[in-house]
Amino acid sequence: MSLNISQENLSAYDNTNKKTEIVVRQYDEEKDKLAVEELEGQCDFGQRGQPSLFTDLMGDPISRIRNLPLHVMLVAEYGNNGEIVGVIRGCIKTVTRGNKGSTPCPVYVKIAYILGLRVSSHHRRLGIGTKLVENLEEWSKINGAKYAYMATDSNNEASIKLFVSKCNYAKFRTPSVLVQPVHAHYKPVASDIAIVRVSPQLSESFYRRIFANSEFFPKDIDHILDNKLNFGTFMAVPKKTLFNWDPKSGSFPQTFAILSVWNTKEVYKLQVRGVSSLKYACCLGTRVLDSWMPWLRVPSIPNIFKMFGFYLLYGIHMEGKDGPRLMKSLYAFAHNMGRNDKECRLLVSEVGFDDPVKEAIPRWNKFSWGDLWCMKKLDVDELLSKEDDNWMESQVSNSSSVIFVDPRDF
């Protein structure tokens, strides 16, 4: 896909107060791949003095946005030799923005998602990050996006300062990222619960009804469910329900839980760095014990100190009085899927702060964290007089508190 964006020349001053030209342009895979990979390799995530998280894009710098139909990556060049000192990625999609009033139909809006902003540690405080964001916003507006949003750890002060203080984004939603380690032992599924695999076509029908009033539900959900990275959609129901409910009927059982599994380890892998020898030895000890005596069901810590992958669980929803118990069994089933995959170390989910399903999701609090989504209205001169037309300002009492997390964004 050919995407057009103008090349912009910027001026910055380095530590010697010398004026240097910075050029922001579109990524050229043949020309820039090695330099971008080197820059990515320098960027670990974590607070100083604490363990950090390294991301391996496995030789494909645009892997995290490749599965979206409209995407771009920009690079920032510094100096006469054209050194790449910054990158940013973005994509555009159409999503729901919550129900307006009493209409049963979903309300869609075109939105840009910003991710993967990196600036070389040797070239910070030169305004490079700000200019990369501004250029990506311009590309987004050219391609019809009405809003732009980004996600960051709620404790990432540098990122929040850049987007909120310098780029005029507003803190919008605070979902929770819930992480469960994949142990060496299997997790049992209750004997009175059946796990049913749902076809992509039926999953689409279910999801369009379940998340019609939610926020950020993608209009092209069919493309997600048909993607090779999607391992399938699964529903947990009481076994007695199977006597009077046919999944192919398109109707919902009285009580159920549902989710889909996305294979992120084919997109990128992670590695935890900077852990002390004592903590490393303790983690190893839990794995050895769990492997030798799995019947003890020791909550072992998987080997996250070497490159590993994880499964993202999304489309998470439950209904009925047995919903929480069904959801826990569904997570046990997903855990066992990961247990059979030698490269899967974690199950990860992200749900809205007030989503009722949150309390039913198994997780380790030490591995989990609070996320922050910041948003900006790009067409600020349009329809400002109509509050209902501004997603960020309108407060619709009957809008759902549910946020749909697109696995392609993670």
* Single-letter code of the amino acid located at 38: E
Whether pLDDT at 145 is above 90: yes
Going from N- to C-terminal start, the domains of the chain cover 8-175+372-409, 179-370
Sign of CA dihedral 109, 264, 304, 293: positive
CA distances from 218 to 212, 213, 406 (A): 10, 12, 7
CA distance 373 to 164: 11
What's residue 29's pLDDT?
93
Q: What pLDDT does 398 receive?
A: 40
pLDDT at 393 (0 to 100)? 72
Number of H helices, E strands in the chain: 7, 17
* Three-point CA angle 156, 161, 163, nearest 5°: 100
Is the pLDDT confidence value at 9 over 80?
Answer: no
User: Residue 251: what pLDDT?
Assistant: 86
CATH code given to domain 8-175+372-409: 3.40.630.30
Structure tokens at 399: 């809008």
Instruction: Tell me: pLDDT of 355 over 80.
Output: yes
The model's confidence at residue 250, banded by pLDDT at 50, 70 and 90, is: confident
Q: Given the DSSP bridges, would you call strands 256-263 and 230-238 parallel, antiparallel or unpaired?
A: antiparallel
DSSP 169-221: -EEEE--EEEEEE--SS--PPPTTEEEEEE-HHHHHHHHHHHTTTSEEEETTH
Instruction: Name residue, tokens 């796990």.
Output: 195
Q: For 53-88, how does the pLDDT look when each residue is reduced to its tens digit (9 = 90+)?
A: 888 999 999 999 999 999 999 999 988 888 999 999
CA dist 327 and 259 (Å) reads 9
Of 18-32, 76-90, 92-106, 255-269, give the range with the top mean pLDDT.
255-269
Q: What is the mean pLDDT of residues 144-168?
A: 93
**Angle CA(302)–CA(306)–CA(310) in degrees, nearest 5?**
60
Token readout for 370 is 């609070």
How far apart CA 34 and CA 61 sit, in angstroms, is 9
Q: How far is CA 392 from CA 73, 224, 385, in A?
A: 26, 26, 14
- Token readout for 159 is 């990122």
Least confident of 248-252, 291-295, 367-371: 248-252
pLDDT tens for residues 188-209? Answer: 999 999 999 999 999 999 999 9
Distance CA 75, CA 1 (A): 18
One-letter amino acid of 406: D
Length of the chain: 410
| pTM for the structure as a whole | 0.90
Domains 8-175+372-409 and 179-370 share a fold: yes
CB 183 within 8 A of CB 335: yes
Given a contact cutoff of 8 angstroms between Cβ atoms, the answer to whether 149 and 172 are in contact is: yes
- What digits encode the pLDDT tens for the residues 215-228? 999 999 999 999 99
Read off the pLDDT band of 262 (50, 70, 90). Answer: very high
- 179-370 is a CATH 1.10.357 domain: no
The rounded distance, in Å, linking the Cα atoms of 393 and 409 is 24
